[in-house]
Amino acid sequence: MIYFDNAATTWPKPSTVVSAMTEFMNEIGANPGRSGHHLSVKAGRIVLNARENIATLLNVKDPMRVVFGMNATEALNLGIRGLLKRGDHVITGSMEHNSVMRPLREIEREGVEVTVVPFSKEGFLAPENIDEAIKKNTKLIVLNQASNIVGSILPTREVGKIARENEILYMIDSAQTAGCIPMDMEADCIDLLAFTGHKSLFGPQGTGGLVIGEKVDIKKLRPLKSGGTGSKSEFELQPDFLPDKYESGTMNTVGLAGLAAGVRFVLDETVEKIRKKEMELTRKFLEGASEISNLTLYGGCDEKTQTSTVSFNIKDISPSKVGLILDEEYDISCRVGLHCAPSAHKTIGTFPDGTVRFGFGYFNTLTEIDHALQALREMVKAR
DSSP for 4-71?
-BTTTS--SPPHHHHHHHHHIIIII-PPTTS--SHHHHHHHHHHHHHHHHHHHHHT-S-GGGEEEES-
Average pLDDT, the chain: 97
CA–CA separation, 70 vs 205, rounded Å?
8
Q: What is the pLDDT of residue 230?
A: 86
Q: What is the pLDDT of residue 148?
A: 98
Sorted by where each begins, the domain ranges of the chain are 2-10+270-374, 15-269
Contact 211, 54 (CB under 8 A): yes
Q: What is the pLDDT of residue 380?
A: 94
Q: What is the pLDDT of residue 334?
A: 98
CA–CA separation, 291 vs 110, rounded Å?
50
Residues lower than pLDDT 70 in the chain:
none
Q: What is the pLDDT of residue 281?
A: 98
Predicted TM-score of the model (pTM): 0.96
Q: Which residues pair with 358 in a beta bridge?
A: 310
Q: Could you tell me the fold of the domain covering 15-269?
A: Aspartate Aminotransferase; domain 2 (3.40.640)
Q: What is the pLDDT of residue 70?
A: 97
Q: What is the pLDDT of residue 68?
A: 98
Q: Output the CATH code of domain 2-10+270-374.
A: 3.90.1150.10
Q: What is the pLDDT of residue 34?
A: 79
Contact 252, 258 (CB under 8 A): no
SS3 label, residue 143: strand
Q: Which residues pair with 116 in a beta bridge?
A: 92
